[in-house]
Amino acid sequence: MADAAAMFEVVKPGLATTVQDLGRPGYYHLGLPISGAMDRFALIAANRLVGNADGAAGLEAVFLGPVLKFSADAVVAITGATMPPKLDGVEQPLWTAFAVSAGQELSFGYLKAGARAYVAIAGGIDVPEVHGSRSTYALGGLGGYEGRALRAGDAVKFGVSAGSPRLGVTIPEDIRRNAPQSGTVLRAMPGLYWHRITEESQGTFFEDEWKVAPEADRIGYRFKGGRALDFVPREPPFGAGSDPSNIVDSCYPYGSIQVPGGTEPIVLHRDAVSGGGYFMVGTVISADMDLIGQLQPHQPVRFESIDMDGALAARREEKARLNRLGEFLGSS
Amino acid sequence: MKTRYSFGGDEHIFVEVDEEMSLEAFFKSLSMTTAIREAGIDGITEICPANASFQVKFDPDVIAPDALMERLKGFEAAAENAEKTIDTRIIEMPVFYNDPWTHETLMRFRERHQDPKSTDLEYAARINGYASVESFIEAHSGAPWFVSMVGFVAGLPFTYQLVERSRQIQVPKYLRPRTDTPRLTVGYGGCFGCVYSVRGAGGYQMFGITPMPIYDPKGERSYLKDLFLFRPGDIIRFKPIDRETYDATLKEVEAGRYQPKIASVQFSLDAFNADPEGNNAKLLEALDG
C-alpha cells in the first residue's frame, strides 16, 4: 500500500456527489449511456488548472457540496456552479488551482448560482476504469466509486500528478460560461416526432416559458408550466400504444425532448435512458447541453428553435471557448 | 413500410423504418445498421438498432450532417432487397411465472393498475382471450422471442414474439408507473416483452422472474465478462420453472457455476413466414439437441 496515503475521506457526502470524467461512449446500443460530467467544459477547465488531462476523473457535486478530509498534500480546483470552496473553513477562490495540505478539510459554502460544482485533483481520482471510463452510472450500479454516489466514510484514492498544476491561476470570467440567469434559452432543433403535434402546439412549445421541475437529475431534466401540446389525430400504429404520445419504443438521442402525455417536456442528459415509448419533439443542440447541467429547479427557461446551420455555428463557438481557455493557460 | 429520416440535434440521425412494429421492419432496421457498421464510415460514433427504427450518433466535425444523411439513405434499397437471414443465438431463460416477489410488488402498486382486483397475469390472460393463466403462460413460453432492442437501462432486452400478428400478446402499461420492480422481472407492455436488468421504476405488467442474471456491472460472472448478455437479434426461449428449480438455479448462480443454455441458429424471415410453427420448432430443437 505504497500510495495508501494519497486519498481523501468523505466526511459528509453532499447531496449526490459522484466521480465523473468525460464519459463512456460506445455502449448506448446496449442501454449503457455515456455518463460523465453534465457540464463538460467546467470539468475540463478544472482538470487543466491542476495539470491533468482533460479526461481525468473528478467529482461532480450537485446543489450541496461534500466535506472531504485529505490524507496527503494535493492541488485542487473547483469550477462550475458558484459554490465557494473552503479550506479548514477559510474561503478559497473558484476557477483557481490551490494547494491542500495533508490533514486539511475541503468544504463548500451555499450554492449561489448554477447547480453543479466540479472538483479536480492533481493526479485525478483513482477508481477502476470500466469500459474505458471512471464515470459513475448510478442507475446501473456501474463505474465510479462502487457504482454509486459517495457516502460518509468512503476513502477515495487519487493518483500521482504527471502534469504541472497552475497554482494560483484563475480562469477569467469571460472564458467561463456564466451561470444561467432568468431568461435562459435552450436552443433545440425540431424533428424526430415533431409532426405528431398540431401547428398551434408547435408554436406554443417555443413561445411558452417553462420552469425546471424538481425531477431534474443526471438522467434528464423535466420542465413544467407551458401549455399542454395537442396531437394530430391518428389510428395508433401496431405496437405503439393507445396514448397519442406513445410510439413503438425507439432510441432516444442525448438532448432529445420527450413529452409524455403532451404535458411536461423531459430533456435527456448524460445518464439518459437509451430508449422508450414516448414521442420526442426535437433535440437540444450539443452546445447547450452543459448549460442544462447548471440549471436549478424552478428556474425559468424558453426553448428556441434553431436549424442545423445554427447548431453547427453554436458548436464552433463552444470550441472557440475551449481554445481561449487553452490560449489563456498556455500564456499565463 | 415508409421510412423516415430526421436529425436528432447536431449529433444524431434518427431513422424510423416503420411507424408500426413488425418483423419486417425489425429486419430492415437490423440489415441497415449491420451494413452501416460494416461500411466503417468515418465520424459515426455509435449505431443503435431499435424495434422498428435505429439511431446513428456522429461527430459533425468529422462528417457533414447532410452528407451523412445522404449516405445513410443509400443503404435503404439494399436493405429492402437483402436476404432476410441472420446467424444468431438462441438463449434459454428459465422463468418462475407467478412468483412471490413480483406478486408482492404488484399487490403493493395495485391502485396504479387498470384492474386492481386481478393480478397482472390474470388481467393479461383475460384481455388477450385466454381461458386461464395457465394457458396464457403456455402461449407466452410456447413460442420463442426476438430481442428487438437492448436499452432503456443497461442490458435490458425488449422482446417480440415469433408468432403471427393475430397471436401477438398485447397489454397496456400500468396507468401510472411503479416506483419499484424486482430485478430480473419478466415484464410486458404494448406488444413487447422485457426483462428488467436492474431493480427500479417500471410500467410494464409483471409475469414472473428469472434466476439468470443478464447484466453484471462488475463483469465478474463468467458469461457476463463484458457486462451484458443480450444483443439485438438474439432469440430467447422462456422456459417455465417451479420454485424448487428456481431455488436450485439461484444457488448455482450464487456459486458462480451457472451457465446459460445457448445454441447457434440461423433465422430466415421468409422461412418463418412460410411456416411459423415448424420454424419455431426447429429453433427450439437447437437448444434441446
pLDDT, average across residues A67-73? 97
Say which amino acid occupies B175. L
- Nearest-CA residue of chain B relative to A285? B9
Q: Are residues B77 and B122 in the same domain?
A: no
Interface of A with B in 259-298 (CB under 8 A): 273-277, 280, 282-287
Residues 6+ apart with CB under 8 A from A30: B150, B151, B154, B155, B227, B228, B230, B231
Same domain? B142 vs B47: no
Number of independent structural domains in chain B: 2
Query: If DSSP codes are grouped into helix, strand and coil, which group holds residue A117?
Result: strand
Instruction: Clarify whether residues B28 and B96 are in a common domain.
Output: no
Q: In what order do the strands lie in the sheet with B53-58?
A: B4-8, B12-16, B53-58, B44-49
Exposure letters A135-152 (e unless 16+ CB within 10 A, then b): bbbbbbbbbbbbbbbbee
CATH number at residue B227: 2.40.100.10
CA atoms within 13 A on the CB side of B272: 21
Which ranges of chain A would DSSP assign to H, the alpha helix? 40-49, 199-207, 289-292, 308-331
Residue A298 near residue A250 (C-beta atoms within 8 A): no
- From A159-163, A199-203, B145-149, the region with the lowest mean pLDDT: A159-163
Q: Give SS3 for B149.
A: strand
Provide the pLDDT for residue A183. Answer: 82
Q: How far off is chain B from A221, nearest CA to CA, in Å? A: 16
Q: Which of B153, B176, B181, B224 to mutate to test the interface with A (most CBs of A within 10 A)?
A: B153
Of the candidates A29, A59, A55, the residue with the CA atom closest to the CA atom of residue A44: A55
* Joined grid coordinates for residue A129: 476504469
**What pLDDT, in 10s, does the model give residues B229-277?**
999 999 999 999 999 999 999 999 999 999 999 999 999 999 999 999 9
- Nearest Cβ partner for B20 among A139, A238, A315: A238
Q: Which positions in chain B touch A240 (Cβ < 8 Å)?
A: 19-21, 190
Asked if A150 and A57 touch (Cβ cutoff 8 Å), the reply is no
pLDDT confidence of residue A4: 52
pLDDT at A119 > cutoff 90: yes
Contact B6, A191 (CB under 8 A): yes
Are B78 and B98 part of one and the same domain? no
Question: How many residues in total does chain B contain?
Answer: 289
* CA A229/CA A223 separation, integer angstroms: 13
B contact residues 41-60, partner A, Cβ 8 Å cutoff: 45-55, 57, 60
The CA radius of gyration of chain A, in Å to the nearest whole number, is 21
Lookup result for grid cell 416559458: A209
Q: Are residue B211 and residue B251 in the same domain, yes or no?
A: yes
**Residues sharing a CB contact under 8 Å with residue B247, sequence separation 6 or more, in sequence order:** none
The verdict on B69 and B131 lying in the same domain is no
How would residue B139 be classed by pLDDT, with cut points 50, 70 and 90? very high
Same-domain status, B196 and B70: no
Report whether pLDDT(A17) > 70: yes
Q: What is the mean pLDDT of chain A?
A: 95
Overall average pLDDT of the B36-41 stretch: 97
Q: Are residues B127 and B65 in the same domain?
A: no
Task: Provide, as residue numbers in chain A, all residues whose Cβ is less than 8 Å from the Cβ of B217.
Answer: 130, 140-143, 147
Domain boundary among B67, B82, B97: B82
Q: Return the percentage of chain A with pLDDT > 70, whole number.
A: 98
Sign of the four-CA dihedral B174, B180, B186, B191: positive
The whole-angstrom separation of Cα B159 and Cα A251 is 15
pLDDT for B131 equals 97
Mean pLDDT score, B277-286: 96
Which of B50, B82, B114 is the C-terminal boundary of a domain?
A: B82
Cβ within 8 Å of A, B 165-204: 165, 172-173, 189-192, 197-198, 200
Tally Cβ neighbours within 10 Å of residue A203: 13
Residue A278: pLDDT above 90? Answer: yes
Record the cell numbers describing residue B23, joined without a space: 418483423
| Sign of the alpha-carbon dihedral angle for A303, A304, A305, A307 | negative
- The pLDDT of residue A1: 40
CA dihedral for B242, B244, B247, B253, sign (positive or negative):
negative
Taking a C-beta distance cutoff of 8 angstroms, is the pair A245, A181 a contact?
no
**Do B94 and B223 have their domain in common?**
yes
Tell me: the pLDDT tens digits for B194-233? 999 999 989 999 999 999 999 999 999 999 998 999 999 9
Spatial distance between the Cα atoms of A70 and A104, rounded to a whole number of angstroms: 6
Given CB atoms, is A18 within the 8 Å cutoff of chain B?
no
- Closest C-alpha to A128, from A159, A164, A83, A107: A159
What integer is the mean pLDDT of A220-230? 97
Are B19 and B142 in the same domain? Answer: no
Chain B residues within 8 A of A23 when measuring between CB atoms: none
Supply the ipTM of this predicted assembly.
0.96
Whether residues B72 and B152 share a domain: the answer is no
Mean of pLDDT values over B39-65: 98
The answer on pLDDT for A21 being more than 70 is: yes
Confidence band, pLDDT 50/70/90 cuts, at residue A5: low
Burial profile A48-84: b = 16 or more Cβ within 10 angstroms, e = fewer: bbbbbeebbbbbbbbbbbbbbbbbbebbbbbbbbbbb
Same domain, B266 and B130: yes
Q: Show Cβ contacts of residue A248 under 8 Å, excluding neighbours closer than 6 positions.
A: A237, A239, A240, A277, B18, B19, B20, B21, B51, B52, B53, B190
Please determine, for residue A233, whether its predicted confidence score (pLDDT) is greater than 50: yes
Element housing B158 (H / E)? strand B157-161
CATH number at residue B65: 3.30.1360.40
Domain of residue B71: give its range: 4-82
What is the largest distance, in Å, between two alpha-carbon atoms of chain A? Answer: 68
Q: What are the tens digits of pLDDT across the range B72-84?
A: 999 999 998 888 9
What are the start and end residues of each CATH 2.40.100.10 domain in chain A?
Answer: 184-316
CA-based nearest distance A163→chain B, Å: 28
Helix axes B65-73, B23-39, angle to 10 degrees: 120
Domain A184-316 belongs to what topology? Answer: Cyclophilin (2.40.100)
**Which of B19, B20, B47 is nearest residue A29 as measured by Cβ atoms?**
B47
